[in-house]
């Protein structure tokens, strides 16, 4: 039995294949294309190839993320909020709070002991507090986004960043450089500013231990360190790549749905209107935005 999950984000797309015995069989991350259907297909092609599999071998596939309703090879779609909760909880069952910092949004997700969604808050209106903030700063500092975390860890005396807005912070960084401040200290100040911004979101749902961080920004060690500082909680490291948690959750949902519905694929195909309604109700029932 092979179950697949695919998660298309604003900046990257991920695919995960799982089965009941082995857990994760394969996973893949690619840079997102403008069209979510193309991104989903490319990343799934690549994940399947790793195991020498084809689309026919997938018993059930769930899609999540941007354009999740339109992915042709997925039988069902589930919101990325539920998927992140599911994936993180499967990775470390003691996880109750998930901070997902994506390329264009940030979510704080609370799950119960079973990994089911309890509550969440989300910011997708402002680039401050998202991966785009870090991208903007990295480009102003002239470093690659993947190097920003390591650079900032070398900071000794963080430069206080007073602006919230990404565009204004970029300008502040320019001034700091002109004043001769060290890029390491600027990076550290920026990581703390991002953590402080995310903390405002966290306060709205509260923290229950254990706490983890998912999404691409989790790879920035300086941000993780700053988040530990502002939250006052240790951040648990997941057993899987922080970026594939959404796709992993989708694959786990695929496995669950398949097992609860039997093997008749024609029955388990497209979600009915009633299921769509139920999904929406579940999403609305949480304290969003």
- 166 makes contact with another protein (CB under 8 A): yes
- 113 makes contact with another protein (CB under 8 A): no
- 171 makes contact with another protein (CB under 8 A): yes
The three-class DSSP label of residue 170 is helix
Choose between 134 and 227: whose C-beta lies nearer to another protein.
134
Choose between 79 and 166: whose C-beta lies nearer to another protein.
166
Q: Which is it for strands 211-214 and 97-101: parallel, antiparallel or unpaired?
A: parallel
Interface with another protein by CB under 8 A: which range of 80-88, 123-131, 242-250, 257-265? 123-131
Residue from 31, 168, 287, 289 in contact with another protein (CB under 8 A): 168
CB contact at 8 A, 182 and 161: no
∠ Cα 138 104 177 (to 5°): 20
Alpha-carbon distance of 232 to 162, in angstroms, equals 21
Interface with another protein by CB under 8 A: which range of 12-20, 40-48, 165-173, 215-223? 165-173
DSSP annotation of 218 reads G
Number of other residues whose CB lies within 10 A of the CB of residue 239: 10
User: Which tokens belong to 158?
Assistant: 């963080």
Site for another protein in 131-160 (CB under 8 A): 132-133, 136
Q: Taking the complex as a whole, how short is the minimal distance between the CB of residue 251 and another protein, in angstroms?
A: 28
- 126 makes contact with another protein (CB under 8 A): yes
Alpha-carbon distance of 170 to 92, in angstroms, equals 36
- 1 makes contact with another protein (CB under 8 A): no
Q: Could you write out the DSSP letters of every residue in 71-104? A: -TT-SEE--HHHHHHHHHHHHSTT--EEEEE-SS
Residue from 6, 127, 148, 248 in contact with another protein (CB under 8 A): 127
Residues that bind another protein (CB under 8 A): 10, 34, 104, 125-127, 132-133, 136, 163-168, 171, 174-175, 177-178
């Amino acid at each position: 039995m092979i179950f697949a999950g695919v998660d298309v984000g604003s900046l990257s797309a991920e695919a995960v294949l799982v089965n009941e015995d082995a857990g994760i069989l394969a996973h893949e991350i690619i840079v997102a294309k403008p069209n979510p259907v193309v991104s989903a297909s490319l990343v799934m092609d690549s994940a399947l190839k790793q195991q020498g599999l084809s689309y026919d071998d997938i018993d059930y596939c769930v899609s999540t993320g941007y354009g999740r309703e339109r992915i042709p090879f997925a039988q069902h779609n589930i919101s990325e909020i539920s998927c992140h909760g599911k994936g993180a909880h499967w990775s470390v069952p003691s996880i109750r709070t998930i901070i997902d910092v994506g390329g264009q949004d940030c979510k704080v997700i609370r799950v119960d002991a079973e990994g089911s969604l309890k509550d969440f808050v989300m910011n997708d209106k402002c680039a401050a507090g998202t991966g785009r903030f870090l991208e903007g700063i990295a480009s102003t500092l002239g470093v690659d986004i993947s190097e920003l975390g390591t650079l900032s860890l070398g900071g000794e005396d963080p430069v206080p960043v007073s602006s919230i807005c990404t565009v204004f912070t970029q300008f502040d960084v320019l001034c700091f450089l002109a004043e001769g401040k060290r890029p390491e200290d600027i990076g550290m100040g920026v990581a703390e500013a991002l953590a402080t911004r995310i903390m405002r979101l966290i306060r709205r749902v509260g923290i229950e231990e254990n706490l983890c961080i998912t999404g691409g920004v989790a790879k920035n060690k300086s941000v993780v360190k700053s988040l530990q500082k502002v939250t006052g909680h240790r951040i648990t490291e997941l057993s899987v790549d922080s970026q594939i948690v959404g796709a992993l959750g989708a694959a786990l949902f695929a496995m669950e749905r398949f097992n609860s519905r039997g093997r008749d694929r024609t029955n388990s195909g497209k979600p009915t209107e009633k299921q769509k309604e139920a999904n929406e109700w579940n999403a609305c029932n949480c304290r969003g935005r």
